[in-house]
Structure 1
Amino acid sequence: MVRAENTQEYMELAAYVVKKAREMGAGQSEAFLINSRELSVDVREGQVETMKLAEDRGLGIRIFKEGRIGFAFTSDLDKQAVNDIIAQALKNSDKTTADDFNSLPETAGNYPQLDLFDPTIHQVPVEDKIALAKHIEEIAKNYDRRITNTERAAYFDVEYAVTLANSLGVAATYKGSYCGAYMDVVAEENGDSQTGFGLQFVLKYRDLDPKAIGEEAAEKAIHKLGAKTVPTQKAYVVFDPYVATNFLGVLAPALSAEAVQKGKSIFAGKVGQQVAASAISLIDNGAMPGQTGSAPFDGEGVPTSETVLVKDGQLQGFLHNAYTARKDKTQPTGNGIRGSFKSMPEVGTTNFYIKPGQVSREDVISQVDKGLYVTEVMGMHTANPISGDFSVGAAGIWIENGKFAYPVRGVAIAGNLLDLLKNVVAVADDLRFFGGKGAPTICIGGITISGH
C-alpha cells in the first residue's frame, strides 16, 4: 500500500533534488516521483491461471539550463544515486539543442480537490478478489446455455502516489487508485462460434458490478450468433459507446497542440471553424470527479481543468503542455501527461469524451429506418490520425424500421474522420467511460457499408 510516511519521504527527497540541482548549476529543475503497486488476477474455468503483484518506484529529474533540457531517471533513491542522476541530467543538457520555449510552467492557481484514493482496494483480501473474478465467470457461463467456454476472467487494481517539486515553488503530492474487471466468453450454436467481452473500470472497489460485467460479455457473444453479411450500400451507422470510444482514440492525437505545431493534425488551421455536426462537443477534463484519468495536477505540476475542444461542432482550441503553450503564446491546459518517471511530459488526454445528448439509446435506434448498429470494429490501428482516413472491419446488428433485425459480420466501413464527425445526426445520453476515454451512442448518416 502507498503509505503516508513514504509520501512525506518523497516530498523531502523532491525538495532535496531541486535544491541540489540549483547548487550544481541548473537554471531550473524539477523532481517527479512515482510509487505504485499493481495486482492482476486471471481466472479460467474456476481456476487461477496467473496472479501478478508488481511494485515500482522511481525519480525523474528535468533540468533547464540556457534553454536546453537535461533529463535522467533512477529507481535507486539512495542519496548518492540521486546525486549521480542530477549530475547526469546536467550532463545530458549539454547534448540537447537550445530552445527559447524550454522552461518550467509558471506556478498558477489552486489544485482541484478530488477523491481519488480508495483504501478498501488494499484492505480487501486477495482471496476475495479471486472470488470476484470467479463470480464474474460463473455469471457469464450461467447466462445462457450457448455460452460454452470462457477465455478469461480478470480482476486488476492499481494504487499510486505522485510527488512533484520544482524550482519555481511547486511542491505537491497526491494518492490515487482504481480497479476493474474483464470477462471474455465464447458462445456456440449450430457450428457457429462467437466471442464477447465485458469490461469495467472504477475508482471505488464497491462500485464494481460483477453481474453487469459477466452478463455484458455473454450478451455480446450471443447477439453475434448466426451473423451474416449485407449488400454494399450507404446507410445509417450507429456506434455503441465502446466503438465510438475507439474512434476517439484516433482523434485524440490530432487535438494535441504538439501535433498541430508539427503539421500532423487534421485540425490544423481550423480553430473557429465548424469541424463536426452541431450535436458534437468534445471535452477533456482532468479534474472530472469519479474518473480514472483525473488528477489534481499534470506531469508538470499544472492544475488540471476542463478544456472544451469542440463546442456544438465548432473547434475551440487544442490541448497544451507548458512547451506548446509557450510556443503558441497561451496557457497550458493541464495536459502534460507522464506515464512513468522514466519519461518527460508529453501532450495527452486525461478524461476525453463526447458530451452526451438528451435522448436515449433506444430513441436513437428507433429513428433509424435502415442501418447498422456497430458493436465491434477490427483494424482501428490502421486509421490515419494525420489524414483522418480509416477503413475498418465491423460487426454488429442490422436495424430495420427502428428495431434490431439480425446480427451482421464480414462487413467494412470506410471514410474520413472529419466527414464522420460532420455527418453525426444524433447523440444519446448514455455516456460510458472505458478508462480515460468515453462516449455515448452516436448515429452517423450516409456511411458506405461494404458487404457482399
Structure 2
Amino acid sequence: MNLNEFKKVLFEKSKEAGFESGEIYVTNSESLNISIYKQEVESYNLNKSFGLSFRGIINGKIGYSHTRILDENSIDMLINTAKNAALLIENEDTQFIYEGDDKYNKVVCYHDSLDNINPSDLIDLGLQMERECKNYNENVINTGGCKVIYSKGEVQISNTKGLDLKNKENILYAYIVPIVEINGEKQDGTGYKVATNIDEMDPKEIAKMGVDEAISKINSKSIKTGNYKIALYNEAMVSLLSAFCGVFSADATQKGLSLLKDKENTMIASEKVTIIDNPLLDNGLSSAPFDDEGVATFKKEIVSKGKLTTLLHNLKTANKANTKSTGNGFKASYASSVSVSPSNFYIEKGDSSFDKILQTIGEGILITDFAGLHSGANAITGDFSLAAKGFYIKEGKKDHPVDQITVAGNFFDLLKQIEVVGDDLKFPLSSIGSPTVIAKGLSIAGK
C-alpha cells in the first residue's frame, strides 16, 4: 500500500471511529556515517529510516500512535492506539489539528550538489583529514575520533483539514579530534566543517583547526581562586545557551519550570543582548518552512535589546496564553508528541572583534570550554557550577592556557551583566549559536 492510499483509508476509518480530525506526520531519512582510525575505515554505517505517526482528536482529547509499516493492520492499530491514548487523558488543555497558513517561506536547507554523493569520496576525505593532522604537526600521536557524516531526510504533514506540506533537507559535515603529546603532556582539539558541497571540504583546514586547538592547551595550569575580568568564548557561550534555552519555552513557564513566567515586555538582559530564533536561516541545522504542527515559521527576536518580547509557543501553549503560535511546535522524532523547541537559536552578533574583546579584558580569563553541563546546571533556577578551561589574558593577549578551574554563576544574572558582544557569531556543529561576550557576575575557583 502506498502512502496516499494508506492516508486515504486511515482518515476514512478514523472518522468512522469517532475522530473529529486526524493528521499524519511522516519522516523518511537516510544517513551515512563513516569512521576512520589509523588510515582504515573503522566503521561504515548506512541507516535508512521510515516512520509515520497518527494523531487525532476525539471528544476534545488528542491521541498519538505510530508505525513503520503501511498496511491494513497498521491502520487499525493506529486508530485503536490513538483512541485509547486519548481516552486516558485527564487534563483539559485545548488541542489542535491545524488547517494551515496562507503562505510558507522558502528555506535553503536542501542542496542538489549533495545528491547522489559518492561514498568513496567521503572515505577519502576522512583518510585525508587523518593524514593531514600528522603532516601538519609531528606531535600528533593519535585521534580521538575522525568522522564524515552525510544525512538527508524528508518530512510530510497531511491532515483532514486540507493541510499537505513537504520539506526535505540534507547536510554534510566532518570532524576530527587530533591528540598531541609534548613533553609528556597530552591534549586534544577538534576540527570540523559543515558543507553544502564536498568541494567545500578542505582536509588541511579541518586538520589544522583541530591540531592548533590541541597545541594551544599544552602547558595548561590552574589559577588561584579570585575575581577576574571574564570573557566567554563563542563556543563556551553556546554551551551555556544550549543548557538554558529551554527557559524561553512557554510550556516551561506555564508549568512553573522557568523563572521567565510573566516576564514578557520586561528587561531580562543587558541592552547589548538580542536573542533570535530563526528557522529561516540559510543552511541552519534546524531550518524549516513549517513546524511539526504545520504552522509557518518565521524569524523572531525573543529578546530585543534586553527586553523579553515573546516566549516560544506551539499551538497549545499559544492558546493558553491567548496569543499566536511562534511556529516552535516540534517533535523529537516521528514517534514523539509535539513539544516546544527552538530552531536556530542564537545571540545576535555585536561589533567588537575578538582581538578587541581581549584588549578590553586587558588582564583576566577567556573561558573556552565548559564540562558537566548535565549535572552542573539547574535550568529552573539558572544556577551553574561547571568545570572549565580557557586562557589567562595578559596585556590584551593570550598568555597561557588554564584548566582545573570551576566557573559558577547564574544564567539569568549573566544575561543582565553582558557588557560587550563580539562579532564572531558561531554555530559549532549546532543549531545554537553565539558570539564571544564579556560578562560580570561570574566567580572562578582554582587552586
Which bracket does the TM-score occupy, shorter chain normalised? Answer: over 0.9
Separation in structure 1 between the aligned mates of residue 435 and residue 164 of structure 2, nearest angstrom = 38
Q: Which amino acid aligns with 2:397?
A: K
1:71–1:92: 8 Å Cα contact kept in structure 2? yes
Deviation larger for 196-205 or 369-378: 196-205
2:114–2:196: 8 Å Cα contact kept in structure 1? no
Match of residue 268, structure 2, among 251, 270, 275: 275
Secondary structure of residue in 1 paired with 2:398: strand
2:284–2:431: 8 Å Cα contact kept in structure 1? yes
2:6–2:71: 8 Å Cα contact kept in structure 1? no
**Partner in structure 1 of residue 188 of structure 2:** 195
Cα 1:211/1:440, change in 2 over 3 Å: farther
Separation in structure 2 between the aligned mates of residue 15 and residue 179 of structure 1, nearest angstrom = 36
Tell me by how many angstroms 1:204 deviates.
Answer: 4.2
RMSD, matched Cα: 1.7
Does residue 414 of the first structure (1) align with residue 417 of the second (2)? no
State how 1:40-439 maps to structure 2 within 5 Å: 40-97=33-90, 99-382=92-375, 383-433=377-427, 434-439=429-434
Separation in structure 2 between the aligned mates of residue 139 and residue 267 of structure 1, nearest angstrom = 48
- Once the two structures are superposed, what CA deviation does each residue of 1:343-396 show, in whole Å capped at 9, x if it has no partner? 111100110011001121111111112111122111111200100000001111
1:271–1:315: 8 Å Cα contact kept in structure 2? yes
Aligned residues: 445
Secondary structure of residue in 1 paired with 2:76: helix
Cα 1:402/1:10, change in 2 over 3 Å: farther
Does residue 450 of the first structure (1) align with residue 441 of the second (2)? no
Secondary structure of residue in 2 paired with 1:73: strand
Tell me by how many angstroms 1:11 deviates.
Answer: 5.3
Q: Which runs of 5+ in 1 are unaligned?
A: 1-5
Separation in structure 1 between the aligned mates of residue 354 and residue 273 of structure 2, nearest angstrom = 16
- Once the two structures are superposed, what CA deviation does each residue of 1:47-70 show, in whole Å capped at 9, x if it has no partner? 111111111101100111122111
- Give structure 1 regions of 4+ aligned residues with deviation exceeding 6 angstroms: none
Q: Which amino acid aligns with 1:435?
A: S
Q: Which amino acid aligns with 1:398?
A: Y
Tell me by how many angstroms 1:106 deviates.
Answer: 4.7
Counting aligned pairs with the same residue, the percent is: 31
Separation in structure 1 between the aligned mates of residue 11 and residue 203 of structure 2, nearest angstrom = 46
Tell me by how many angstroms 1:411 deviates.
Answer: 0.7
Separation in structure 1 between the aligned mates of residue 170 and residue 260 of structure 2, nearest angstrom = 34
Cα 1:212/1:13, change in 2 over 3 Å: farther
- Once the two structures are superposed, what CA deviation does each residue of 1:235-284 show, in whole Å capped at 9, x if it has no partner? 12222221111111122110000000000012122112211111111111
Does residue 18 of the first structure (1) align with residue 1 of the second (2)? no
Q: Which amino acid aligns with 1:394?
A: A
Q: Which amino acid aligns with 1:450?
A: A
Deviation larger for 405-414 or 144-153: 144-153
1:298–1:337: 8 Å Cα contact kept in structure 2? yes
Tell me by how many angstroms 1:154 deviates.
Answer: 0.3
2:226–2:445: 8 Å Cα contact kept in structure 1? yes
